[in-house]
């Protein structure tokens, strides 16, 4: 693989480090910038109308497919942004549970920003995820 150092300083809270890392340091030679993925399948059909969990599963699956297309492992993700429409605190475990369903042991415990938004590009989309992957 490659060297990617995960840094979680004791001066920053460990409350979130079970699902993310505070800092990722690398000397990787290649970067993949993955555009925001949403809950549409390969034909463009929405998956999970009105269901955040179903949409999160499809969105993480699309992210996984994008990684596979460039031959990058999920553990290569250095930064992930998660956008959730009309966010409420009870949505956090729903979203992360979906991510664990898709990635399992390869859940990228990476730097991450979780952002509540009013809406996304299409009114039926409930979640969008973009990422930056690093690899040799």
Reported pTM: 0.86
pLDDT the model gives residue 1: 55
pLDDT at position 83 is 98
| Ordered mean pLDDT values, 10 residues apiece, the chain (136 residues) | 77 82 80 93 96 98 94 93 97 97 94 96 97 88
φ and ψ at residue 56, rounded to 5 degrees: -65, -40
Instruction: Give the pLDDT score at 29.
Output: 74
Q: What is the CA radius of gyration of the chain?
A: 15
Q: Which long-range contacts (CB under 8 A, 24 or more apart) does 54-58 make?
A: 55/125, 55/126, 55/127, 56/94, 56/95, 56/98, 56/99, 56/126, 56/127, 57/98, 57/101, 57/102
Q: What is the predicted pLDDT for the residue at 2?
A: 60
Closest by CA position to 80, among listed 24, 130, 35: 130
Give me the pLDDT at residue 106, please. Answer: 93
Give which of 80, 31, 87 is closest to 59, Cα–Cα: 80
Secondary structure element (H or E) that encloses residue 69, with its range: helix 52-69
| Residue 93: predicted pLDDT | 96
* Per-residue confidence (pLDDT) for residue 14, from 0 to 100: 86
**Alpha-carbon dihedral angle through residues 20, 26, 28, 33, given to the nearest 10 degrees:** 40
Under 8 Å between Cβ of 68 and 34: no
């Amino acid at each position: 693989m490659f060297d990617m150092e995960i840094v979680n300083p004791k001066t920053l809270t460990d409350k979130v480090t079970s699902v993310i890392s505070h800092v990722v340091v690398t000397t990787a030679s290649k970067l993949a910038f993955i555009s925001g993925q949403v809950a549409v399948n390969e034909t463009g059909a929405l998956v999970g109308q009105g269901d955040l969990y179903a949409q999160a599963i499809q969105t993480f699956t699309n992210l996984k497919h994008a990684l596979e297309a460039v031959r990058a492992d999920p553990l290569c993700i250095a930064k992930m942004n998660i956008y959730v429409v009309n966010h409420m605190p009870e949505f956090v475990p729903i979203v992360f549970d979906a991510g664990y369903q898709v990635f399992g042991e390869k859940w990228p415990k990476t730097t991450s920003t979780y952002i509540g938004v009013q809406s996304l590009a299409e009114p039926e989309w409930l979640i969008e995820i973009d990422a930056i992957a690093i690899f040799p």
